Chain A
Amino acid sequence: SQTIHQWPATLVQPVGSPLSLECTVEGTSNPNLYWYRQAAGRGLQLLFYSVGIGQISSEVPQNLSASRPQDRQFILSSKKLLLSDSGFYLCAWRETGTGVSYEQYFGPGTRLTVT
């Protein structure tokens, strides 16, 4: 069966510090991968998605970036965090190919607080 991991679960970082959040998926190959953010009291917002290694599409311009160094690894980064980067960050994956379900499966999330 497939599983998705995110770490860390919680993170408190000062303004101006770097960020690296990691997401890995097990039990599937060539998945589509996604990063979402949920700010306090707001809805889920798609940040990035990837259809393959090294292929990143950005939905919202900001001081965050994403990378996909391996097929089942997705990393969210920032060189300098802003207070507005605080939120609940969720990684998700989806199967690809013909005859597959198009459901997205979400990880447990990372709660980031920028102080």
Chain B
Amino acid sequence: DAKTTQPNSMESNEEEPVHLPCNHSTISGTDYIHWYRQLPSQGPEYVIHGLTSNVNNRMASLAIAEDRKSSTLILHRATLRDAAVYYCILRTSGGGADGLTFGKGTHLIIQP
């Protein structure tokens, strides 16, 4: 999987939007951008994924740059339960049978 770069940590206030950036300058044309998050003492959970167009689901939105070299995960209204480590992961088309390659992710801190 191609490499991604994320800030080590970010802090936001409750009920405010949060924009989590991810750089992936070596992304290939068949790489999907996946986001997972890991709450304390739990396994990771899938958040969202996309290829070229912006994506929305019940948890978040994913904004993908036109050149696909970066993307931003958007939490529209952060709650204390969104405090977690967020991982940006590139996966080739179809995912492949092999596992996910997790980087260090971004530790999101939510202040009440």
Contacts and interface: CB of A to CB of B under 8 A. Distances in A.
A and B from one complex: yes
Interface of A: 32, 34, 36, 43-46, 49, 51, 57, 59, 88, 90, 92, 94, 96, 102-109, 111
Interface in B69-103: 91, 94-95, 97-103
Q: Summarize B's interface: helix, strand, loop or mixed.
A: loop
Given A49-B98, A51-B97, A94-B95, A104 B46 contact: yes
B3 interface: no
Interface in B34-60: 34, 36, 38, 41-46, 49
Centre residue among A32, A59, A90, A104 by max chain B CB count within 10 A: A104
Contacts of B100: 44, 46, 104
A61 B76 CA distance: 42
Interface residues of B, number: 23
Contacts of A111: 41
Contacts of B105: 43
B97 A90 contact: no
Nearest to B94: A102
Nearest to B92: A102
Contacts of A49: 97-99
Interface of B: 32, 34, 36, 38, 41-46, 49, 91, 94-95, 97-105
A103 B42 contact: no
A62 B49 CA distance: 32
B104 to A, nearest CB: 6
A52 to B, nearest CB: 10
Given A46-B101, A49-B99, A105-B46, 20 more contacts: A43-B102, A43-B103, A43-B104, A44-B44, A44-B100, A44-B102, A46-B100, A49-B97, A51-B97, A57-B98, A90-B43, A92-B99, A102-B91, A102-B95, A104-B44, A104-B46, A105-B45, A106-B44, A106-B45, A108-B43
